[in-house]
């Protein structure tokens, strides 16, 4: 009786706790890239669940069918040869499962590394997302504005993030919009995302980069294009300009709140020239350096910032 009530209590506790849980952010996608990854996760979960159930069913079958029986001590079971069919199934089925999952993973990897589906004919919004200890800087070269620790984006438009770091390697991640990608000090990596649904989302650095990693987060707000344009105009009319001296202060290690500026640090402190392949491989300097005339002047300052 005590065992019965203990079991009921445990089940009731689990049910109560689970009813208060919010859905996992990675399984609550708000964009095409995140939807692709969520579908892959659920597919893997269902396949693994099926495998576990089959294995447990076979275990129960074997325990029942071949359980110990009351035979004489001198009983010898008949000799049984190996079954080619059983061996083929035991080897072939895992190979098929791994091959299928590998195919799906490679296919989805190519999808999330490209412009999101349905946005191929639309001009993407390019945002340079750079990290420093322990904050995020978002530069909008088209709009000529910059924000710190928060990101405003339009919905129904492709987003192209150019990622790099002014300190250790970090990882840019907005779980409801797509998977994470690393930001490094000597190269620029590109991440393609899109938001289908207006709303507020959570972003963070998913890579340990020192004692301030836990608070290395940022807020994301997706809104219709018209509302995004209004926000840009408001920033241009109210925000202070971002100066080189102010940006140097922002790069100092520490935590900051949200801030907004007109102009971007790309004008006086451009990103690294290497892209994706790293170390100056295959980059187009005219695209990666909006103001190439500052590159040589700022190279020494950039190396100093990386040591913060």
Average pLDDT over residues 228-236: 96
**pLDDT tens-digit readout, 2-14:** 665 666 676 666 6
Contact 51, 37 (CB under 8 A): no
pLDDT at residue 289, rounded to an integer:
43
**pLDDT tens-digit readout, 253-291:** 999 999 999 999 999 999 998 776 444 433 444 344 444
Contact 136, 206 (CB under 8 A): no
Strand pairing partners for 164?
Answer: 130
Q: Does residue 301 surpass a pLDDT of 50? A: no
CA dihedral 279, 280, 284, 287 (to 10 degrees): 60
Closest to 246 (Cα-Cα) out of 218, 266, 267, 265: 265
152 vs 239: CA distance, rounded Å: 15
253 vs 212: CA distance, rounded Å: 9
Confidence label for 77 from pLDDT (cuts 50, 70 and 90): confident
Average pLDDT over residues 14-39: 78
Of residues 254 and 294, more confidence is placed in: 254
Average pLDDT over residues 51-56: 94
Q: Does residue 304 surpass a pLDDT of 50? A: no
Q: Which residue, chain included where needed, has tokens 């202060």?
A: 249
Share of the chain above pLDDT 90, in %: 66
Helical segments of the chain, H only: 2-19, 32-65, 84-112, 225-238, 244-250, 285-288, 295-305
pLDDT at residue 305, rounded to an integer:
41
**pLDDT tens-digit readout, 181-219:** 999 999 999 999 999 999 999 999 999 988 888 989 999
Q: Does residue 83 surpass a pLDDT of 90? A: no
Q: Which residue, chain included where needed, has tokens 């639309």?
A: 122
pLDDT at residue 13, rounded to an integer:
66
Of residues 286 and 76, more confidence is placed in: 76
63 vs 66: CA distance, rounded Å: 6
pLDDT at residue 221, rounded to an integer:
97
Q: All domains of the chain, ordered by start, with CATH?
A: 25-60+85-114 (no CATH), 125-305 (2.60.40.420)
pLDDT at residue 16, rounded to an integer:
57
């Amino acid at each position: 009786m005590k065992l019965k009530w203990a079991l009921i209590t445990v089940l009731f506790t689990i049910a109560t706790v689970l009813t208060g849980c919010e859905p996992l952010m990675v399984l609550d996608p708000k964009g095409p890239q995140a939807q692709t990854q969520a579908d892959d996760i659920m597919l893997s979960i269902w396949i693994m669940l099926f495998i576990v159930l089959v294995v447990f069913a076979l275990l129960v079958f074997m325990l029942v069918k071949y359980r110990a029986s009351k035979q004489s001590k001198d009983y010898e079971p008949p000799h049984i040869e190996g079954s080619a069919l059983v061996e083929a199934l035991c080897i072939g089925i895992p190979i098929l499962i791994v091959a299928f999952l590998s195919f799906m993973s490679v296919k989805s990897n190519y999808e999330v590394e490209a412009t999101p589906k349905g946005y191929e004919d639309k001009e993407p919004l390019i945002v340079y997302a750079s990290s420093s200890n322990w904050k995020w800087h978002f530069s909008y070269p088209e709009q000529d504005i910059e924000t710190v620790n928060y990101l405003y984006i339009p919905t129904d438009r492709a987003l192209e993030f150019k990622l790099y770091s002014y300190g250790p390697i970090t990882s840019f991640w907005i779980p409801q919009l797509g998977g994470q990608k690393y930001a490094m000090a000597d190269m620029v990596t590109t991440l393609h995302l899109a938001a289908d649904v207006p709303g507020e989302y959570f972003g963070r650095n998913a890579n340990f980069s020192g004692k301030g990693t836990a608070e290395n987060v940022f807020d994301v707000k997706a809104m219709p294009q018209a509302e995004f344009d209004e926000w840009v105009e408001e920033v241009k009319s109210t925000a202070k300009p971002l100066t080189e001296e102010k940006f140097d202060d922002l790069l100092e290690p520490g935590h900051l709140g949200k801030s907004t500026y007109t102009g971007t640090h790309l004008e006086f402190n451009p990103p690294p020239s290497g892209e994706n392949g790293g170390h100056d491989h295959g980059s187009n300097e005219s695209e990666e350096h909006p103001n190439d005339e500052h590159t040589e002047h700022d190279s020494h300052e950039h190396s100093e910032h990386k040591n913060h």
